[in-house]
Amino acid sequence: MATITDGLLAFATTAVPADAAGMMRLSLFDWAACGVAGAQETEFAGFRSTQTAMNPGPHVILGGGTANAPTAALINGTLSHALDYDDTHFAHIGHPSVAVVPAVLALAQTVGADLATLTDAATIGVEASIAVGLWLGRDHYQVGYHQTATAGAFGATLAACRLLDLDPVQSRYALGLCASMASGIKAQFGTMAKPLNAGLAARTGVEAALWAQAGMTAAEDGLAGPLGFGATHHGQGATVDLPRGSADWHILTISHKFHACCHGLHAMLEALATAKLSADEVAQMHIRTHPRWMSVCNILTPQTGLAAKFSYGQTAAMTLTGRSTSRIDSFTDAVTQDPVIRDLRARITVSEDARLTETQSEIAVTLADGSVRHLRHDLMTPMTLDQRANKLRSKAQALLGDAPSQALWQAAQERDLQAFTDQLVIS
């Protein structure tokens, strides 16, 4: 009987359709913008300098510097998730690009691949990580594993195998080796170790593929076999169909963050953005959300900029007063104490609604004249690639500035890998 591992090995050589590759190009651009901005977070300076000193090499590090391939993947995965502003896939509750892209970027520099080859490998890896996340199921996540790190490591490994052109036997062993290394727990959320989880997954992908290429063997099915990763990590073993041909690629439903806060707030913020309401117009506001988010991002009276990123009332009030939630620097301690914001927060209530999915939010706004406006948004509402690109370019501009974001966008559209990596260094 075929297992998820068999499916992944068959999928590794699949031709990538244009729409899936196009979405991956956008995610590559978004990953780089988040990573370059994340590289400016000074709290990771010691980690970065220690790793590069111990593991020298020629591979580019976000923000500047170089290291060997596994270390570059580790650092770049960590820095690109430092702001928690990178892409998400709700079906498997994970951030795909931060585990996969750093792995293929490091190995693309190793073998001299171009950006198109890197993009194809990354697309396969992102798709694989989502598939493994679906196969592991919600039990794996709910018990405490961080799917970005666990499922992400297998996606990074399969992407690395494709980039290195490993044969099916070597790729099978690489996935088996990954099964002994994939790790990451939700206990790390809120600490520097959460983005480290992503970096560890990226490094695992590089090392597992390189070791298999060098002749290291492993369990025939370390992922789905007896006593394998799934069986020992609360995997549900759900049935998952990997894409065949051009249809049903999960990457096409990837969700990019357009607000620098918890993803649970984004449907509400998108609904408010389309309404174009001002603070003076709002008498009362009631927000309905999926029950999952009530314990995640409903801090009623945030006192810090970080806590503000997990508050419906705070972020709604910021939007109504014209503060851009797409900007990292909007989330300060001071904004939580602004008297206008605090007054608005007091007029906003939130309740759970099990009818809604995790990507939906509904809002009832009572206006000053007594009338009521009903707003709704679903993050799964289709966008064209052009619409998504425009929103991502605006996000990058807010993160990096006009000229750097434009240069990064241009480099991400070409085939020249060197031109792209040149934009990852902070000048």
| pLDDT tier for residue 1 given thresholds of 50, 70 and 90 | confident
* 190: alpha, beta or left? (left if phi > 0; alpha if psi -120 to 50): left
Q: What is the pLDDT of residues 322-379, one digit of tens each?
A: 999 999 999 999 999 999 999 999 999 999 999 999 999 999 999 999 999 999 999 9
Res. 246: pLDDT tops 90: no
pLDDT at residue number 351: 98
Rounded average pLDDT over 70-97:
95
For the chain, the average pLDDT equals: 95
Rounded average pLDDT over 121-142:
96
Q: Coil, helix or strand for 4?
A: helix
Instruction: Determine if the pTM surpasses 0.75.
Output: yes
Res. 405: pLDDT tops 70: yes
Kindly state the helix (H) or strand (E) to which residue 284 belongs, with its residue range: strand 282-289
Rounded average pLDDT over 253-263:
94
Find the range with the poorest average confidence among 81-95, 145-159, 203-217.
81-95
Helices 115-142, 96-111: axis angle to 10 degrees equals 150
Whose tokens are 């088996």? That residue is 176
Q: Coil, helix or strand for 350?
A: strand
Rounded average pLDDT over 102-109:
98
DSSP H helical ranges for 190-308 = 193-213, 229-232, 266-275, 305-308
Q: What is the pLDDT of residues 160-174, one digit of tens each?
A: 999 999 999 999 999
Res. 247: pLDDT tops 90: no
All domains of the chain, ordered by start, with CATH? Answer: 4-255+385-422 (1.10.4100.10), 263-378 (3.30.1330.120)
Rounded average pLDDT over 265-294:
94
Rounded average pLDDT over 387-394:
96
pLDDT at residue number 49: 96
Q: What is the pLDDT of residues 178-234, one digit of tens each?
A: 999 999 999 998 789 999 999 999 999 999 999 999 999 999 999 999 999 999 999
pLDDT at residue number 427: 61
Q: What is the pLDDT of residues 23-32, one digit of tens each?
A: 999 999 999 9
Q: What are the two backbone dihedrals, phi and then psi, of residue 359, each rounded to the nearest 5 degrees? A: -105, 5
